Chain A
């Protein structure tokens, strides 16, 4: 018998019992599809968090003030803590002492609510800063203009609004040029930030105004909340961090680490920490997927064993009419191959198809290796558990196979 003939026999064999064939393929399909989809969801969530962190800028470094109790040893030294000042922020941009710092912007945060046309709306964050803030934090102005140095110098009452804030306060109206009340003080809207999106807190619900204006009329003087620093590249954040430490230590006359009155948070380290978390998450999902593949595999194994046991009599008949062992083995191997390859291919198709939809708010990203692994494992299982019992049955004496119940 030639291979084509054996393939035809296998095909006819599968066709002869459509329900069994269908169920077996369904088992393989679900096993393979589940693995692909689950791994894709894990990978997708990891990617989306990564992307939202990257949109903040991976070369971003935040220097924040240790406001009492922020760090061990800082508490109880209240008056000894030096404020982060606008001068500190300016001092960090120094091409000689800090060649890896590209820009730095002072930030003073407060909260507040906006009144427009008699309606009061609470805003997530009110940020007092300088024009450098826009470039440093990767914010772009979608409409109108950004803050200018003159705005800061003259403490002008102007604001740039985040996308969500505009939606909440103005709806579809164009806010540029309108006046709003911020804590009872009228401000003119000069611009609107481009929407950034991102996971977790809505970073688009924000109001940006000159730091001088904020300090003069809303929050009062004192320490800055933080200084946002942009390193020259995401690879230079460690060097930039060291330079910042050197400059601030000198300015604040800090000689030992116990005296440190500021904290530096590196966005890149945040990213890698997050990456770690997500890898754990993906591994977890992979484990779930592996279990589902195992269960699917046991299903394949089971149905293959049942099939062969059920067909041992048939093998006996075939042997009695003169089928050589090779032909029987070939047929059963070809049947298992067809089953598992077709089922696996359908599973890959189902997995890839369902990965195109958003699953519980996560856009799945297919991992190619998971596709190959799932497909390979199911095909291997199908081949082995279809082939091995068939090989055993084929080597029985015909009468033994015929009497098999």
Chain B
């Protein structure tokens, strides 16, 4: 497959917090291009700048320097309203701490991005229910976040991220707060989404999680220290094993 432009193309992206002597350089000039359909795991110890990178990729934060081209468009030139459209339509973001709206049902949480996109109520409900079914939560649509387990909450968050059918799914340590069983469930969903052509970038510091990606990028002190493709064999094995369990 030959994509005309990479989904993500960042050039010399830097991020500095504070100024003067107290300045902290979270990113010191990162170059990264992610093609459509790729599955990238960003690894690194805490303080390596991986979360900062992710926030910039998700348009939640702005870089101090460098350019960010999303689907060929320079994000730096977009105004507030256009940015909200990008977050809504192009990017699905999954947080480590789920970040569901409290005291609001799973269904309403998943419907929310569609509501901001201006989708009609009936269509909204249909698509939200479909997304919840996709993550295996078709039965718990009317539960509130505090009535769901961590794994279930994260699956609601994934459903919310993919309900607007964005081409790019970003996940910031999606399994960081989950037990191993829920981790497998969530990773399986993410892998399935990748298999259907979605571009995935996820942050993790767990090797088991990174194993499932096609490409691993390692950040050290705000710079890309390693960028390698992985053999698909182990991924294939694990996926086959999962299929067997699922069946």
Contact partner of A327 (CB less than 8 A), chosen from B80, B89, B104, B116, is: B116
Q: Mark B93-114, 1 if CB is under 8 A from A, else 0.
A: 1010001111110001000110
Task: Let me know if B58 and A5 touch, CB within 8 A.
Answer: no
Task: Let me know if B103 and A322 touch, CB within 8 A.
Answer: no
Question: Does A321 lie at the interface of the complex (its beta carbon under 8 Å from any beta carbon of B)?
Answer: yes
Task: Let me know if A321 and B93 touch, CB within 8 A.
Answer: yes
Residue of A319, A320, A322, A323 with most chain B CB atoms under a 10 A cut-off: A322
Tell me what chain A mostly uses at the interface: helix, strand, loop, or mixed: helix
Contact (A320, B103) CB under 8 Å given A1-B116, A12-B108:
no
Question: Does B78 lie at the interface of the complex (its beta carbon under 8 Å from any beta carbon of A)?
Answer: no
Q: Which residues of B contact A327 (CB under 8 A)?
A: 116
Contact partner of A1 (CB less than 8 A), chosen from B59, B60, B62, B115, is: B115
CA distance A324 to B161 in the complex (A): 16
Task: Let me know if A325 and B81 touch, CB within 8 A.
Answer: yes
Contact partner of A9 (CB less than 8 A), chosen from B58, B85, B115, B161, is: B115
Q: Which residues of A contact B113 (CB under 8 A)?
A: 321-322
Q: Which residues of A contact B87 (CB under 8 A)?
A: 319-322, 398
Q: Which residues of B contact A319 (CB under 8 A)?
A: 60, 84, 87
Nearest CB of chain A from residue B78's CB, rounded to whole Å? 13
Residue of B60, B81, B113, B117 with most chain A CB atoms under a 10 A cut-off: B60
Q: Which residues of A contact B55 (CB under 8 A)?
A: 399
Question: Does B118 lie at the interface of the complex (its beta carbon under 8 Å from any beta carbon of A)?
Answer: yes
Q: Nearest residue in B to A5 (C-beta to C-beta)?
A: B115
Nearest CB of chain A from residue B108's CB, rounded to whole Å? 7
Q: Nearest residue in B to A9 (C-beta to C-beta)?
A: B115
Task: Let me know if A324 and B116 touch, CB within 8 A.
Answer: yes
Q: Which residues of A contact B161 (CB under 8 A)?
A: 321
Question: Does B215 lie at the interface of the complex (its beta carbon under 8 Å from any beta carbon of A)?
Answer: no
Task: Let me know if B112 and A321 touch, CB within 8 A.
Answer: yes
> Interface size class for chain A?
20 to 34
Q: Mark A286-326, 1 if CB is under 8 A from B, else 0.
A: 00000000000000000000000000011011111111110
Task: Let me know if B60 and A322 touch, CB within 8 A.
Answer: no
Question: Does B160 lie at the interface of the complex (its beta carbon under 8 Å from any beta carbon of A)?
Answer: yes
CA distance A332 to B129 in the complex (A): 27
Q: Nearest residue in B to A313 (C-beta to C-beta)?
A: B99
Q: Which residues of B contact A395 (CB under 8 A)?
A: 80
Q: Which residues of A contact B58 (CB under 8 A)?
A: 320
Task: Give the residues from 3 to 45 in chain A that come closer than 8 angstroms, CB to CB, to chain B.
Answer: 5, 9, 12, 16-17
Contact (A322, B116) CB under 8 Å given A398-B87, A399-B61:
yes
Nearest CB of chain A from residue B215's CB, rounded to whole Å? 25
Nearest CB of chain B from residue A18's CB, rounded to whole Å? 9
Q: Which residues of B contact A5 (CB under 8 A)?
A: 115
Q: Which residues of B contact A397 (CB under 8 A)?
A: 60-62
Q: Which residues of B contact A320 (CB under 8 A)?
A: 58, 60, 87, 93, 95, 99
Task: Let me know if A16 and B115 touch, CB within 8 A.
Answer: no
Q: Which residues of A contact B183 (CB under 8 A)?
A: none
Contact (A322, B101) CB under 8 Å given A399-B61, A402-B60:
no
Contact partner of A16 (CB less than 8 A), chosen from B60, B84, B100, B102, is: B102
Nearest CB of chain B from residue A308's CB, rounded to whole Å? 15
Q: Which residues of B contact A17 (CB under 8 A)?
A: 103
Task: Let me know if A314 and B102 touch, CB within 8 A.
Answer: yes
Task: Let me know if B84 and A322 touch, CB within 8 A.
Answer: yes
Contact (A322, B85) CB under 8 Å given A397-B61, A399-B55, A402-B60:
yes
Nearest CB of chain B from residue A343's CB, rounded to whole Å? 21
Q: Which residues of A contact B85 (CB under 8 A)?
A: 322, 324
Task: Let me know if B104 and A323 touch, CB within 8 A.
Answer: no
Task: Give the residues from 65 to 103 in chain B that come closer than 8 angstroms, CB to CB, to chain A.
Answer: 80-81, 84-89, 93, 95, 99-103
Nearest CB of chain A from residue B70's CB, rounded to whole Å? 14
CA distance A5 to B111 in the complex (A): 12
Contact partner of A321 (CB less than 8 A), chosen from B80, B103, B108, B116, is: B116
Task: Let me know if A322 and B89 touch, CB within 8 A.
Answer: yes
Nearest CB of chain B from residue A314's CB, rounded to whole Å? 6
Q: Nearest residue in A to B108 (C-beta to C-beta)?
A: A12
Nearest CB of chain B from residue A256's CB, rounded to whole Å? 87
Q: Which residues of B contact A398 (CB under 8 A)?
A: 59-61, 87
CA distance A16 to B99 in the complex (A): 16
Task: Give the residues from 40 to 72 in chain B that come closer than 8 angstroms, CB to CB, to chain A.
Answer: 55, 58-62
Task: Let me know if A16 and B104 touch, CB within 8 A.
Answer: yes
CA distance A313 to B101 in the complex (A): 9
Task: Let me know if A322 and B99 touch, CB within 8 A.
Answer: no
Nearest CB of chain B from residue A330's CB, rounded to whole Å? 11
CA distance A399 to B56 in the complex (A): 9
CA distance A399 to B54 in the complex (A): 11
CA distance A5 to B118 in the complex (A): 9
Task: Let me know if B112 and A16 touch, CB within 8 A.
Answer: no
Residue contacts A-B, CB under 8 angstroms, 24 given? A12-B104, A16-B102, A16-B103, A17-B103, A316-B99, A317-B99, A317-B100, A317-B101, A318-B101, A318-B116, A321-B87, A321-B88, A321-B112, A321-B161, A322-B85, A322-B89, A322-B113, A323-B84, A324-B116, A327-B116, A398-B61, A398-B87, A399-B55, A402-B60
18 additional A-B pairs beyond A318-B116, A327-B116, A402-B95, beta carbons within 8 Å, are A1-B116, A1-B118, A12-B108, A16-B103, A320-B58, A321-B161, A322-B84, A322-B85, A322-B88, A324-B81, A325-B80, A397-B61, A397-B62, A398-B59, A398-B61, A398-B87, A399-B55, A399-B60
Binding site for B on A (CB under 8 A): 1, 5, 9, 12, 16-17, 313-314, 316-325, 327, 395, 397-399, 402
